């Protein structure tokens, strides 16, 4: 059986595993378990079933409202996921939740008022939002909710899944509701307000093997206002936060600048204050991934339940994101923190008290991340293959690189020094569009595919972006050409969207 045949067989099995009878409901209904003595109801919602097309990686919105509680009350916990029609969670190397953002269109967002209120978000790290005891997100049954989501299908097969979210909810009629203080979401994002708030981290950038955005980026906001800051609009108390990162991410940081403030030398706050800036919290990525910070097998730390920070009108909150830049490049990275803020006095003054304590993980290792990849030699070694024909173009179709596709044992096509090889994505116009990339990986780049392999660790870095013309996340083009300054040798690459796709090309030595 050829490598391509084996691949198709594996994908066919994956498709059968995720297939099933589709329920007639267009939108799933909630179920509730009995509340405890605290008055909390545990509500389980699902939206869908969502049709995920072959190779899909596009941003979309729910049409109309998504399921939500039927009565007024307080939301105190949210846990997201995607599930197959049989209720099980798909492997992350087959399908994953690139992101889901829950928006309340009945309110304006605090940090970007032109947007609906973004009150919860998660990616494949699946951070659980838990407000501390005594605080809740005020909810009205009349609120209108919208879901912005991006489910990434890493295979050529179609699937159907549910978007699920579990809510801990305290009804307004409950006696426990009288003890709840409202907290509002403060969306902090290093590219806040962007349609697709991403940035690239190139291997070798930054300092000492790490890169912090926006601090170490060159003109990250193109001469315009900083997108990673928000000026506090009224006095209040920050009561919790956690971060969102992509693979390669190490930590998100939340800081506060207060004009004219400083920490007294020798005070408890002195070590976390620099000038008029106080560090509030570092949301750290904990990787269970054996290979380190290279996969979605990760959880983020959240603030301790008793974390309280006093903020004043005119203070400036600032977010940053730090990624590893020693092992690989990380394209289309994110750095987001949602902070929860209550009105009124209280909390510690970060210029007098050290508030940047270690946090806690919101969940443990998730079994959907068990296939790490990187084992054996699943594909031929391009370094040992004979040279293929001389060509200047490679068409990408049906999830194959037309020349030099390693899953089909194709010999690497050859170009002369100073020339380019031009790739064209012929899959882009299909159905909802299928995006592909040409991303350098270290030769031979032929091990098994999983959540941690391959990565963009080529000795020479290049990346085409997601070839397509459908707006974010695509590169608004379907073609890309290799750099003209590549030295003679054999180069291997993969598709960041569909990592089982591998290819090679060769630059003649003369």
Q: Give the CATH number for residue 167.
A: 2.60.120
pTM: 0.92
Are residue 387 and residue 474 in the same domain, yes or no? yes
- Give me the pLDDT at residue 399, please: 96
The tokens describing 339, both together, are 């902070």
Rounded-to-integer distance, Cα 58 and Cα 66, Å: 19
- Give me the pLDDT at residue 3, please: 37
Are residue 44 and residue 174 in the same domain, yes or no? yes
Has residue 7 been placed in a domain? no
Under a CB-based contact definition with an 8 Å cutoff, are residues 283 and 299 in contact?
no
Quick: pLDDT tens for 405-457. Answer: 999 878 999 999 999 999 999 999 876 789 999 999 999 999 999 999 999 99
Under a CB-based contact definition with an 8 Å cutoff, are residues 115 and 106 in contact?
no
DSSP assignment string, 72-109: -EEEEEEEEEEEETTSPPPPTTTEEEEEEEEEEEEEE-
Quick: pLDDT tens for 216-253. Answer: 999 999 999 999 999 999 999 999 999 999 999 999 99
Using a 10 angstrom Cβ sphere, with 0-12 exposed, 13-18 middle and 19 or more buried, the burial of residue 370 is middle
Query: Which residues span the domain enclosing 53?
Result: 27-179
Pick from 183, 181, 169: which is nearest to 70 by CA? Answer: 169
Quick: pLDDT tens for 324-376. Answer: 999 999 999 999 999 999 998 899 999 999 999 999 999 999 999 999 999 99
Under a CB-based contact definition with an 8 Å cutoff, are residues 244 and 127 in contact?
yes
Q: Which residues of the chain register pLDDT less than 50?
A: 1-37
Number of domains in the chain: 3
CATH for 199: 2.60.120.230
Are residue 192 and residue 81 in the same domain, yes or no? no
Rounded-to-integer distance, Cα 444 and Cα 238, Å: 49
Rounded-to-integer distance, Cα 484 and Cα 418, Å: 5
């Amino acid at each position: 059986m050829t490598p391509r045949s084996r691949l198709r067989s594996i994908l066919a099995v994956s498709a059968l595993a995720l297939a099933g009878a589709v329920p007639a409901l267009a939108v799933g209904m909630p179920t509730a378990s009995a509340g405890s003595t605290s008055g909390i109801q545990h509500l389980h919602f699902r939206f869908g079933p969502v049709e995920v097309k072959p190779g899909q990686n596009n941003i979309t919105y729910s049409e109309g409202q998504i399921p939500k509680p039927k009565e007024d009350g307080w939301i105190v916990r949210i846990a997201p996921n995607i599930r197959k029609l049989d209720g099980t969670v798909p492997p992350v190397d087959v399908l994953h939740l690139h992101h889901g953002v829950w928006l309340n269109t009945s309110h304006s967002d605090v940090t970007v008022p032109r947007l609906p209120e973004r009150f919860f978000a998660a990616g494949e790290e699946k951070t659980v939002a838990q407000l501390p005891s005594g605080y809740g997100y005020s909810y009205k049954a009349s609120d209108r909710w919208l879901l912005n989501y991006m489910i990434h299908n890493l295979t050529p097969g179609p699937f159907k899944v549910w978007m699920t979210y579990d809510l801990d909810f305290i009804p307004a009629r409950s006696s426990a509701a009288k003890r709840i203080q409202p907290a509002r979401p403060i969306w902090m994002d290093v590219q806040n307000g962007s349609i697709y708030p991403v940035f690239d981290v190139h291997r070798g950038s930054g300092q000492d093997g790490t890169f912090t955005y926006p601090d170490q980026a060159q003109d990250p906001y193109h001469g315009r206002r900083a997108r990673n800051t928000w000026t506090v609009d009224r006095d209040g108390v920050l009561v919790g936060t956690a971060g969102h990162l992509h693979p390669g991410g190490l930590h998100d940081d939340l800081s506060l600048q207060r004009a004219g403030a400083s920490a007294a030398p020798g005070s408890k706050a002195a070590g976390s204050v620099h000038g008029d800036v106080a560090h509030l919290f570092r949301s750290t990525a904990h990787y269970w991934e054996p290979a380190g910070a290279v996969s979605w097998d990760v959880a983020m730390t959240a603030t301790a339940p008793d974390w309280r920070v006093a903020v004043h009108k005119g203070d400036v909150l600032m977010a940053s994101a730090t990624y590893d830049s020693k092992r690989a490049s990380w394209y289309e990275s994110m750095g987001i923190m949602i902070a929860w803020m209550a009105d009124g006095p209280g909390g510690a003054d970060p210029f007098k008290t050290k508030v940047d304590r270690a946090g806690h993980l919101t969940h443990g290792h998730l079994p959907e991340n068990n296939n790490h990849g990187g084992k054996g030699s699943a594909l031929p070694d391009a370094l040992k293959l004979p040279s293929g024909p001389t060509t200047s173009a490679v068409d990408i179709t049906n999830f194959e690189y037309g020349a030099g596709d390693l899953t089909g044992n194709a010999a690497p096509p050859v170009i002369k020094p100073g020339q380019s090889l031009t790739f064209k994505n012929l899959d882009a116009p299909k159905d909802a569009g299928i995006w592909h990339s040409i991303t350098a990986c270290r030769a031979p780049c032929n091990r098994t595919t999983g959540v941690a392999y391959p990565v963009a660790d080529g000795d020479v870095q290049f990346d085409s972006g997601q070839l397509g013309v459908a707006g974010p996340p695509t590169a608004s083009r379907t073609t890309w050409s290799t750099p003209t300054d590549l030295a003679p040798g054999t180069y291997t690459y993969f598709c960041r969207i569909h990592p089982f796709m591998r290819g090679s090309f060769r630059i003649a030595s003369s």
